[in-house]
Amino acid sequence: MESIVTLSDAKARFSEIVERATQGEEFVVTRMGRPVAKVVRYGTRVQPRKLGDLAGQIRISEDFDEWPPDLEEALGIKPH
């Protein structure tokens, strides 16, 4: 489970947080109530990623590379 710490608390307790992270604990650092960073133990993946792991799970829309008409005009991509 992740522990949540404020940025100021993380600064004050950084050595402790790093030590606890090396033991497997995870920390989410927040600034003004919003998550901005995560402190976790550094290590290699248990299982390396394989090409095609996400096959069939991702769909790209047919119009993915088309700009909306108002943005085309605003950016001068296609004058209308």
Q: Which of 55, 52, 79, 51 minimizes the C-alpha distance to 67? A: 79
CATH number assigned to the domain comprising residue 21: 3.40.1620.10
Is 59 part of any domain? no
> Hey, how many other C-beta atoms are within 10 angstroms of the C-beta on 5?
19
Tokens 């993946």 identify what position?
45
Question: What's the confidence (pLDDT) of residue 76?
Answer: 87
How many domains does one find in the chain? 1
| CB atoms inside a 10 Å sphere around CB 57 | 6
pLDDT category of residue 43 using cuts at 50, 70 and 90:
confident
pLDDT digits (tens, 9 = 90+) for 53-78: 889 998 899 988 888 888 888 888 86
| In the predicted structure, residue 1 carries a pLDDT above the cut 70 | yes
Looking at residue 1, the DSSP 8-state letter turns out to be -
Note down the domain range covering 33: 1-42
Report which of 56, 54, 22 is spatially closest to residue 40, judged by C-alpha positions.
22
The whole model's pTM is what?
A: 0.54
pLDDT tens-digit profile of 7-38?
Answer: 999 999 999 999 999 999 999 999 999 999 99
